[in-house]
Amino acid sequence: MGFVWITGASGAVGAALARRLNSAGIPLVLTARDGSKLEELAGSLKSAPTLICPADVTDRNSAQLAVEAGVAQFGAPEGLVHCVGSIIIKPLHLTSEDELKQALDANFFSAWNVLRLFVQQAVRHRVHASAVLIGSVAATAGFPNHEAIASAKAAVGALAQSAAATYADRNIRVNCIHPGLTTSAMSSRLTSAPAVAERLAKTNPMGRLGQGEDTAALAEFLLSPAASWITGQQIGVDGGQGRLLVPPKS
């Protein structure tokens, strides 16, 4: 591969994926808002070249500088995994327009920006490429008080499917992974208290919360030649929560 661009690389999924791909010898461009966290992550990656490009990908110009830096150093981008997102849990009637806009910016418009930039480069360089957008189980299953985040993440899945159709004849694949609740810094206000985390785990058919490695493993596969005939898919990595109706464990 030329290089893989991981956005939201300092989070649980992005960092787990970076470690996996680095071990496989794949050059990486790592993007997140916090440069110090990127430096810490990059310092642990010894098996392949890594470029850190701090950026806020909700800003198109900032995202463009990041991918162009990667192209200048490594050539064509052949993989993208977009791990940026946010959480808002609030009922519809109490959610303000500003809060909805923030959810759309962090989740949908960030995905729009980076996928657009990635596809532009892949088309320009005429490479076979694979993009993976990270959504949420909230996009596929109805959870109370998730109207804003569900709408934003559902849009991410729709973006992936439409782009997959547009670029299939150019061998540019686009898929979306919808993780369940995953232990991470972003979800820490929900999972940091052991009693709360245990209660949330009991609502999952498989009885546990997700880990970054769960989603990273599928993302790595979708980037690989083994997935060369897989595109336009929205795949849950959620312990069955998006599809199975299982009574909570006592």
Q: Residue 200: its pLDDT value, please?
A: 78
pLDDT tens, 148-169? 999 999 999 999 999 999 999 9
Tens digit of each residue's pLDDT (9 = 90 or more) over 106-144? 999 999 999 999 999 999 999 999 999 999 999 999 989
Rounded to the nearest integer, the mean pLDDT of the chain is 94
Alpha-carbon torsion (74, 161, 19, 138), positive or negative: positive
Both structure tokens of 37: 């966290």
Closest C-alpha among 168, 159, 82 to residue 128: 168
Banded model confidence at residue 243, pLDDT cuts 50, 70, 90? confident
Write down the pLDDT at residue 205: 83
User: How many C-beta atoms surround the C-beta of residue 60 within 10 A?
Assistant: 15
Least confident of 156-160, 196-200, 226-230: 196-200
pTM of this structure: 0.93
Query: pLDDT tens for residues 52-106?
Result: 999 999 999 999 999 999 999 999 999 999 999 998 999 999 999 999 999 999 9
Which residue did the predictor score with more confidence, 71 or 193?
71
Q: Exposed/middle/buried for 170, CB within 10 Å: 0-12, 13-18, 19+?
A: middle
Using DSSP, state whether 19 is helix, strand or coil. helix
Instruction: State yes or no: pLDDT of 188 exceeds 70.
Output: no
Residue-range domains of the chain with CATH: 3-185+212-237 (3.40.50.720)
Residue-level pLDDT at 248 = 63
Asked whether 181 and 237 are in contact (CB, 8 A), the reply is no
Strands of 3-7's sheet, edge to edge? 50-52, 28-31, 3-7, 77-82, 129-134, 172-179, 234-237
- pLDDT of res. 196: 76
